[in-house]
Each structure stands twice: as C-alpha cells, then as structure tokens.
Structure 1
C-alpha cells in the first residue's frame, strides 16, 4: 500500500547525480520540493506547483520517450506475433502521440494543472506559448529516419533472426540494486541473453547525438548485469544504437570501469548528503542552501526557471 511520507526516500541514480552536478537548486526542486505535489489535498500549493513544473516535457524529451515506447511495443509485438511494423505505421503512431501532447498543452491546460501526471504539458508551450515551426519540422523529418534505422538496426535484425535463442529481459523497467546499503535505480532500454554466444547484451537506444555521458551510463548498466546475474564482464556486450544516424557503437568494460562507477557513486552520495538536514528521514536543508548554478546556460532548458526568476 502506498504510504504518504513528509519527505522522499533517499536513493541514487545517474540522472539524479547529473541533476545535482548541473544545479543544486534544480536538484532541490526535482527531488525534494516537488514531493507530495501530486496530492490534491493536505499539501501546500507550492509543492503542487513545483511538481507541475517537474512534469513539463520538452520536445526532445517527449520525442525520445515516444520513440522508446514504440520500440518497446514493437519488440513485444514481434515476439508475440512474429510480425514487424512498417516505418509508416510507427511514424503515424508517433505523430498521433505528439498531436495528443500538443492538444493537451493547448486545450486541456486546466486538466493538466489538476492532474499533471495524467496530461501532457510541453515545456516550449508553457514558457513560450507556442512551438517553434522550425523545431516541429525538424522532429517531423527525424521520424522516418529514426524508425527506419530501428527496423534495420543490428539489434532488431538479430531479434528477428534468433528469436528462439534469445532470452529477452523486460524493457524499460525500473530496476534497482543496493550499493553500500543505498538503493540505486537503473533503467535500461533493452537487454537479453544470447544462448548461442553465451552473452548478455545491453542495448541503449539514442534519438539524439553522441554524448560524453554515454559511456558512464552504459558502465552502470554493465555493473548491474554483472551483479544481478553473477557473470564476468567478458560475458557482457554493450551497445549504443544511434537511431538518427544508424550508427552502432560497442563498448568493452573492464574492472577499472566498474571501480570508476563505484567511485562516482561514492563521491556523489557524499555530495548529496550535504543537502540532508536529517539523514534518517531525508529531510532537506533549507531552500536557500540549494545553490543556484552560476552557469546560466543550464537555465535555458530548465523546467523550474520561472521559480528562480521569482526568487
């Protein structure tokens, strides 16, 4: 049974670490001051407002979520029916979901304000009042390339060729493990066990360009598989599938990479604990102690920027 608590439970994830690294004030909004903001009673309007802002979705984020969802759906459908979708079918579904997000953001604003976890609000429309036509055209043009590259990717080709010899893990599922007594969340796009090669395969679908963070993210996934299934790193193959370009990149990880991830985790947790007034209840320090970033380029795409202007 879901229990309402005055403060959120403490946990760690790579996205939480990146948020704190970019801006402590954003970290406070995201992980503390939005807590219980989904409740319709017995909660301060301030927390409801912060939670609403937390649920804003920018076009790149929304597009990525829709593509990931359709890929997951396509793989599940293929495994059950043996039938793959066409590019046109996937594009039509994606357009339908983007259109639904646009309609929510422009016509159902009051519904979103009351139930921000049930309705869409696009960040660009919330702050600018409209979508940039060039942005819309850019993502329209990306759709065909992204879905074509997915269907022709080595990963999907292997799924269709070796359906009987692959043990598919649940995609996009929230997974967690304990490291030094702290719950660590890991959200992998896709993974499976190849019985013929005796390998665990991890796939991360990317709808944008390459990033310096990609390797660190995938190293954490490899660490999770290593710990969960008690296998050596030699038995784990890790790939980025860059859907915009069709490029596939393989990563090989060593014990040094695993030590690096643990070191990042340990340093990050120490930094996060500075923002706990009580380490047992996870009560946060005062709002003013969550410092705003001095690197203002972080603010441009931040969901909470209107709050920082007010303060």
Structure 2
C-alpha cells in the first residue's frame, strides 16, 4: 500500500549524483521540494509547482525517452513474435508520441497544471511558447537516423540471429540494489545472458553524442550485474550503441574500476548527507542552504530556472 510521507526516502543513483555536482539548488528541488507535489490536497501549492517544473521535458530528454521506449517495445515484440518492426513503423510510432507531446504542451496547459504526470509539457514551449524551427528540423532528421542504426546495430542483429540462446534480464523498473543499506537505482537499457558465449551482455542505447560520463555509467551497470548474478567481470561484456552515428563501443572493466565506482558512491553519499537536517527522516535543510551553481550555463536548460529568477 502506498504511504504518504512528509519527506522522501533517501536513495542513490548516478543521475542524482550528477544533479548534485551540477547544482545543489537543483538537487534540492528535484529530490526534496517536489516531494508530494503530485497530491491534489493536503500539500502546499509551492510543492505542487516544484513538482510540475520537475516534470518538464526538454526536447533531448523527451526524444531519448521516446526512442528508448520503442526500442524496448520492438525487442520485446520480436522476442514474443519473431517479427522485427520496420523502419517505417518505428518512425511512425515515435512521431506520434512527439506530436502528442506537442499537442499537450500547446493545447492542454491547464490539464498539465492539474495533472503534470498525465500530460506532456515540453520545456521549450513552457518557457518560450514555441519550439525553434531548427530544433524541430534537427529532430525530424534524427528520428530516421536513430531507428536505422538501431535496426542495423550489432546488438539487434545478435538478438534476431540468436533469439533462442539469449536469456533476457528483468524489466527496467525492478533494477536496484543495496550498497551499505542504501537503495541504489540502476537504470540499464538492456542486458541478457548469451548461452552460446557464456557471457552477460550490457547494452546502453545513446541518442546523443559520446560523453565523458559514459564509462562511469557503464561501470555501475557492470557492478550491478556482477553483484546480482555473482559472476566475474571477465564474464561481462559492456557496450554503448551510439544511434546517431551507428558506432558501437565496447568497454572493459577491472576490479579497480569497481573500486572507483564504490568510492564515487561513498563520497557522493557523504556530500548528500550535508543537505539532511535529519538523517533518519531524510528531512532536508532549508532551501537557501542548497547552494546555487556559479556556472550559469547550467541554468539555461534547467527546469527550475523560473524559481531561481524569483529569488
């Protein structure tokens, strides 16, 4: 049974860690002051506002979520039916979702204000009232590219050629583990065991460019698989599939990499605890104690910039 609590449960994820390192104020909004903002009663309007802003979706994030959703659906459908989707089907489905997001954002503002978890609101439209023409054109071109590269990817080719030999990992929503009694969320795109090679394979689909953070993210995934299935690192293969370029990159990890990710976790948790007024209830310190970033380029794409402008 779902229980309404005054403060959120403390947990850790790599995205939470990155949010804190980019801006502590954004971290406060995202993980504390939006809490219970989804409720329609017995909650302050301020928390409802913060929650609404948290639900804004910038085009790159929205596009990535939609592509990932239909890739996951395409793989699941293929595993059940043996029939791969066509490029035209994938493009049609994704365009339909993008169009739905545009319609919600331009025609259903009040509905979104009332139920921000039921309607889309594109960040660009919320703040400027429109989508830049060049942005729209860019993502029209990207849709075709990412799905072409997905269908041609080594990962999907392996799925279609070795379907009977693959044991697919559990659905995304169940991926978490405990480290030092702290719930750690691990949002992997896709992983499976290949009976022919006796390897666990982790695949992360990327709809943007390469990032310095990619290796750290995949190291955490490797640690999760190592712990969950009790297998040595030598039995784990890790790949990024960069769908804009069609490039596939393989990563190899050592025990030293696993020590590094645990060190990051431990250091990050200590930093996060500085923003707890009560470590048992996870009550946060005052908003003013969550420092705003001095690197103002972070603010340009932040969902919460409206709140900081009011200060």
Which whole-Å deviations, capped at 9, do the CAs of 1:186-242 have from their partners, x for residues lacking one?
Answer: 010000000010000000000000000000000000000000000000000000000
The match for 2:19 is 19
Equivalent residues of 1:72, 1:171 under 8 A apart = no
Deviation of the 1:172 alpha carbon: 3.0
Deviation of the 1:115 alpha carbon: 0.3
The match for 2:193 is 193
Deviation of the 1:171 alpha carbon: 4.3
Give distance in 2, aligned partners of 1:186 and 1:297.
Answer: 28
Query: Does 2:14 correspond to 1:3?
Result: no
Give distance in 2, aligned partners of 1:218 and 1:184.
Answer: 15
The match for 2:120 is 120
Give distance in 2, aligned partners of 1:16 and 1:110.
Answer: 30
TM-score, normalized by length of structure 2?
Answer: 0.99
Number of residue pairs matched by the alignment: 311
What does 1:13-162 align with in structure 2 at a 5 Å threshold? 13-162=13-162
Give distance in 2, aligned partners of 1:37 and 1:171.
Answer: 27
Give distance in 2, aligned partners of 1:215 and 1:14.
Answer: 12
Query: Does 2:242 correspond to 1:242?
Result: yes
In structure 1, stretches of 5+ residues that fail to align are none
Equivalent residues of 1:177, 1:183 under 8 A apart = yes
Equivalent residues of 1:37, 1:48 under 8 A apart = yes
Let me know the Cα RMSD of the aligned residues: 0.6
TM-score, normalized by length of structure 1?
Answer: 0.99
Equivalent residues of 1:105, 1:126 under 8 A apart = yes
Equivalent residues of 1:72, 1:172 under 8 A apart = no
Equivalent residues of 1:207, 1:243 under 8 A apart = yes
Which whole-Å deviations, capped at 9, do the CAs of 1:11-65 have from their partners, x for residues lacking one?
Answer: 0000000000000000000000000000000000000000000000010000000
SS at structure 1 position matched to 2:300: coil
Deviation of the 1:148 alpha carbon: 0.5
Deviation of the 1:173 alpha carbon: 2.8
Cα distance 1:250–1:137, how it changes in 2: closer, same or farther (>3 A)?
A: same
